Chains A and B, each alone.
Chain A
Amino acid sequence: MRALRNLKEALRGLALHKSKTLLMTLGVVIGIASLTVIVAIGEGAKAKVLARISDMGFGPEAFSVAAGAGRLFFARTKTPTTLTLADVDDIRAMPTVQAAVPHQRQSMRMVYKRNNTFTRVYGVTPEWQSARLWKLSDGSFFTDEDMKRKAKVAVLGATPAGKLFGDEDPVGKMVRIGKVYFRVAGVLEKKGVTESGFDPDDRVIVPLSTSISRLFRQTWLFSIRIHTLDPSMVQETMEGVRQLLRKNHNLSVFAEDDFRFITPEGIMEWVTAEERALNRMLVLISAVSLLVGGIVIMNIMLVSIRERIREIGIRRCFGARRSDITQQFLFESIFVSILGGIAGCALGVTISFVLKNLHVLAAKPTWESFVVAFAFSAAVGLVFGIQPARKAASLSPEETIR
């Protein structure tokens, strides 16, 4: 096959001019490296989102409504006192709702003997555990009976359990949360820190009735987790909940919502937005360096062709067609570019791992980066190699041999 022969000649040419070959790869290396990092960051962001969502215990049929205007986890105002158990009852009565789990939340100090830690304390109903599908590693969850009695029992996350008790068994021991003593009923199974650095195990769960009347001493809720009967009902349920809450909270038509929704889609959008700015910069770097890399290749090829006019002439004298010369030089630029692509990919993967290990970004390199890098670098070699190659082939043998 002619193309194969011309490829061989191209490789021979590159091997003969090693330093030039190396120089030609530089721009592509940088371009592809940033491209690889972009892909890795994209993947990392996706993984982070998924971790965050599953960490919140969201299925596709669930969403949360939280007190206070704002977005997702961020309230724009001080938490209002309007979200109450009355709202929960009304929501439970909606035909599309399977369960509504109220939450109260505050960060508080916990003490056991000499140890103390600061953690998020949740007041929830017993159905919380089954809704979240969160198993216990020790002891048991509190019961409806505990709820009724406003019992001072607590279920510890793995993090405070470890910090307060070390190797000791926490179940049955008394801990102090704020100023109130609680008996430890159980310990939640450890989930581990997510890629985003969020620690889901850093929490303590107490009965909602207890938190309302004995711990937080407040009746208003922090949020309500709502499980619909079917994922397809999420939208209409959300709209229904909005109407219901606006009515219950006596909001005028002009007032904005005093609550906000937290949905998997919303979280997804938020986390990816975080990466977007950086991504945009990297895309720019990548595009510019690929362009520069391409131009470098083109110019070095043009110079190289001027230097190798004699070689071209000799080949033409002995039977090389124009297309052979085009192919030979095109293969040179494509090969050089792909070489740069491979090196760039390796560099990009290295950078991604460093970013990840330094917890700067959740970059996650994948094999897709290799495919992207390969395709892009080959394209650069082709696009920027075609003009020099054409030029080389257009020289008449008569002129090139003189």
Chain B
Amino acid sequence: MSLILMENIVKTYLSAGVETPVLKGIDLRIEEGEYASVIGPSGAGKSTLMTIMGCLGSPTSGKYILDGEEVETLNDAQLSRARNEKIGFVFQAFHLLPGVKAIDNVMMPLLYCHKVPADARERARESLEKVGLAHRLHHSPGQLSGGEQQRVTIARALVNDPRIILADEPTGNLDSKNGAEVMRILDQLNREGRTIVIITHDPKVAQHGRRTISLMDGRILEDRRHESVTQFEGSPSRAGSA
């Protein structure tokens, strides 16, 4: 069973009476353990595709099955639970809660669990340790560097042990050194078996995955499997040290 199965997904935005077709029929299948990149020029519909994958918005038409569940049939509580348990988001703009300590930011998804784990704080701490931020538990986002903030968001995405990590331009706001660090963490997570989908317009980032899906004007132009280049340009490989 595929983790993600999309059939003829169409998304058309309607604003002020104007229809904007963004996705024009996407067929996509992503298996457990894959490391895929969605690449394409600005406005191609990459982020839109991610909101649908992440159950943040519904497609105009088409069928989306996430981990065996037909998303269209889920109500708000079930969708929220799916997001909580199956998906970990990483955003270009970090999207951490301002003024809230790193540890509490990371713990936040656990608060919305069906049953809040008794060791929520401990798990948040472990998650932060995993991204190398054991020494920054009590810093708020404003007191962290960009790279550190993005690592906090990865820790947050990981904390509830999701089936898949969806990262929209995870290196977009980072310099090459911090970008390399973030990619190294993602590479490592995939090596541990985590399914990862990265959205990017940067071919070098896409090379980290083993599959590149090229999106152009709302359609899949090319879907190519390849070897993974786990070494980000300009950064010494520290893979395996995590």
Which residues of A are in contact with B by a Cβ distance under 8 Å?
Answer: 5, 9, 12, 16, 310-311, 313-324, 396-398, 401-402
Contact = CB atoms under 8 A, between A and B. Distances in A.
Nearest to A317: B89
Nearest to A2: B112
A323 B80 CA distance: 11
A366 B108 CA distance: 43
Nearest to B157: A318
B85 interface: yes
Contacts of A314: 95-97, 108
A310 B47 CA distance: 16
Contacts of B57: 396-398
B76 A321 contact: yes
Interface residues of B, number: 28
B192 to A, nearest CB: 21
B112 A318 contact: yes
A398 B100 contact: no
Contact of B83 (A16, A311, A319): A319
Contacts of B160: 318-319
Given A320-B80, A396-B57, A398-B57, A315 B99 contact: no
Contacts of B123: none
A313 B111 CA distance: 15
B221 interface: no
B143 to A, nearest CB: 15
27 contacts: A5-B112, A9-B111, A16-B98, A16-B99, A310-B95, A314-B97, A316-B80, A316-B83, A317-B56, A317-B89, A318-B156, A319-B80, A319-B83, A319-B84, A319-B109, A319-B112, A319-B113, A320-B80, A321-B77, A321-B80, A322-B76, A324-B80, A396-B57, A397-B51, A397-B56, A397-B57, A401-B91
Contact of A318 (B47, B51, B76, B108): B108
A140 to B, nearest CB: 81
A320 B55 CA distance: 13
Contact of A401 (B80, B84, B95, B100): B95
B24 interface: no
Contacts, number: 68
Contacts of A317: 54, 56, 83, 89, 95
Contacts of B108: 314-315, 318
Interface string B71-100: 000001100110111000101000111111
Contacts of B91: 401
A324 B56 contact: no
Contacts of A316: 56, 80, 83
A318 B83 contact: yes
A5 B116 contact: yes
A318 B109 contact: yes
Contacts of B111: 5, 9
A327 to B, nearest CB: 12
Nearest to A398: B57
A57 to B, nearest CB: 68
Interface string B167-183: 00000000000000000
Contacts of B109: 318-319
Contacts of B54: 317
Contacts of A315: 108, 112
Nearest to A399: B57
B97 A398 contact: no
B154 to A, nearest CB: 13
A92 B77 CA distance: 83
Contacts of B100: 12, 16
A114 B111 CA distance: 85
Given A5-B111, A318-B89, A398-B56, A311 B97 contact: yes
Given A16-B99, A317-B89, A320-B112, A398 B84 contact: no
A314 B141 CA distance: 14
Contacts of B81: 319
Interface in B118-168: 156, 160
